[in-house]
Amino acid sequence: MKILLLNAGSSSLKATLAESTDGRTIAHCIADWAGPVTRYRYVGPGGKSDSAELAASGHAEALTRFLVDLTSREPIALPTRAALWAVGHRVVHGGPFTASVRITPEVRERIRALNDVAPLHNPPSLDTLTAAEGQLPDVPHIAVFDTAFHATMPPEAYTYPVPQRWTREWGIRRYGFHGLSHAYCSRRAAEMLRRPLAELRLVICHLGHGCSASAVHHGRCIDTTMGFTPLEGLMMATRCGSIDPSIALYVQKHQRLNTAEVEFALNRASGLLGVSGVSGDMRQVLAAARQGNEGARLALAIYSRRVRQAIGALTVTMGGIDALVFTAGVGEHGAEVRESICEGLQCLGLHLAASNANASPDVDVARPEAAARILVVQTREDIIMLDDVIRVLGEDNPIGGPD
């Protein structure tokens, strides 16, 4: 039986059709409408691919196109929709959920209640869920939460030093995000190092449009940089990361910005975009910096400094490090950024090799004699999603087959 995995972004949709028995990817697509046109790429069985510009944009339209391609484009990936066992949905903020669950009306409403604390992420997930349920009403839909991997953090890591009522009654705490990526990269790092995950101390740096780092100690997340929302922590493409909270109060009081304006500024107009004045796209910021743009150079310096500081803090939390892992768009492809981040980390036994300049994942880019390894790993959130969907289905139906 086949499982459809949906990963919705604010202006994109990644979709994968996987085989439940062996985890094999049968077909996948990405639709992106962040620019002036919707760009769509489909890769079918055997790696046969096709790219197009679509007139429509949105999660429903992208999902419709993917389902049409699956069932009609040669070679056929999905002979009939009846061959689908389930649909898995990546949900960024799971709040109180610490494991994947089958989606019910109650679960949907609990996810919706978190829209305000994950405004860039949970609404697109719900839009995609609505579209998927409309087109695939007869299969179970499973929510796989990015926050679940971080549920192993101890109280001293997830508790904020705020009034107890905020924590106990209002649920204010550190949740952490990008958990599917951190979980996969932890597992993959152990495979690459040929060591049990249960004996490793790993710092995972997920550096994409959103950025986060985590300390994975003996297979369990014990700390991470993102917090109550995906806004805290590292500097990101358009998000500010950690700042003095009084800044938000100040601009509201003295510059007369309202809550919506502050929320927009911190989530959508800060980070690389805000500092450089060029773009939130790391590739464009790097190009501008090479041409002498001082705003771009400053943005890169802040970005690297903050990631480096996080690596140091997380390493100390674990009492040492066995491997540093770079993943996601910038982490996987930004050799220049990796080099900048690693400058100064030699004190932790992290020595970057010259091979970093031309590295492609999955690879070790540390010098042979270094005490700790530096890995570049292609993240595979879909693999963790697939595992969780199968687990939930197995719990719902112990014989292990479709309902």
146 is catalytic: yes
Q: From CA 132, how far away is CA 103, in angstroms rounded?
A: 12
From 32, 50, 127, 146, the catalytic residue: 146
User: Structure tokens of 389?
Assistant: 């969907």
User: Structure tokens of 95?
Assistant: 């709040």
User: Structure tokens of 146?
Assistant: 């990015």
Sign of the dihedral through C-alpha 156, 157, 160, 164: negative
Task: Give 151-160 contacts, CB < 8 A, sequence gap 24+.
Answer: 151/98, 151/99, 152/220, 152/221, 152/222, 153/221, 153/222, 153/223, 153/224, 154/222, 157/222, 157/223, 157/224, 160/227, 160/228
Is 344 in a helix, a strand, or coil? Answer: coil
Cβ(337)–Cβ(306) below 8 Å: no
64 Cβ contact partners less than 8 Å away, ≥ 6 residues apart: 131, 135
32 Cβ contact partners less than 8 Å away, ≥ 6 residues apart: 11, 12, 38, 39, 40
Left if phi > 0, otherwise alpha if psi is -120 to 50, otherwise beta: which for 44?
beta
φ and ψ of 144, to 5 deg? -115, 120
Catalytically active residues, by annotation: 146
